[in-house]
Structures are given as structure tokens and as C-alpha cells.
Structure 1
């Protein structure tokens, strides 16, 4: 009998420090490639220019670097 790993056991997790245009573009491509867990920390995280793309892309915005 073979054992299979839990579905997310080998899934990479990624965090962006800063979530401007480049981070948003990279996150979109990584999401399309199958990366399930993406987080970001940005000092402007409460601003719509950061918050709205994060929500659309399924990126978790962290409140601090430590949380990211």
C-alpha cells in the first residue's frame, strides 16, 4: 500500500516584501502556475492600490514583516 502526502504538503509558500506593480505581476503569474499560498507585506497595505489587487489575486496581506 502506498502512502500519499497530504495535498498541500509539498506546496511552496511565497511572501513578497512590497506589493507594487512588479509584485502584483509576479503574484499573478505564480498563482496561474499553481502556487496556492502567497502573502505580501507592504507599508501601504491599507491603500486600495495594494489591497484591491491582493484581494483579486488571492494574496494574503500581512500587517507586519513578522506576520508575513
Structure 2
């Protein structure tokens, strides 16, 4: 009944004020300067990953060494 009366369409129009921007294809953003992230931009994430791996390997070897002792 809400659809037939047009109330649902009215509510959607009020709630989604920027629907035209959201319905654009992803390729439309390429002209605005959006680019893929570089390795330099992700350096902090890679540094955290490497630090976590190094710490986990060190703890693993420490547990193995203490168990044999």
C-alpha cells in the first residue's frame, strides 16, 4: 500500500538526498584525481605487519627454547 500510494518513494527521496552522486558508475571518479594507493602510502601498514611477524617469530623461538630447558 505504501508503494502504491507513493509514500515509499517520497520517503526515499527525502532520505537519499544525494542519490544522483551515489548512482554514478565507479569509472566516473577517475577524472577527479582519485588514484590507487602507493607503497609509500602503505608503508606504515607494512611496517606494522613486519614488526608483528618479527615479534611472533621471536616469541615462538623463545617458547621452544624454554620448553627444551
Check whether TM > 0.5.
no
Scaled by the length of structure 2, the TM-score of the pair is 0.22
| Higher RCO (C-alpha 8 Å, min separation 6) | 1
Which structure features the higher share of helix residues?
A: 2
Provide TM-score, normalisation by structure 1.
0.22
Q: Pick the structure with more strand per residue.
A: 1
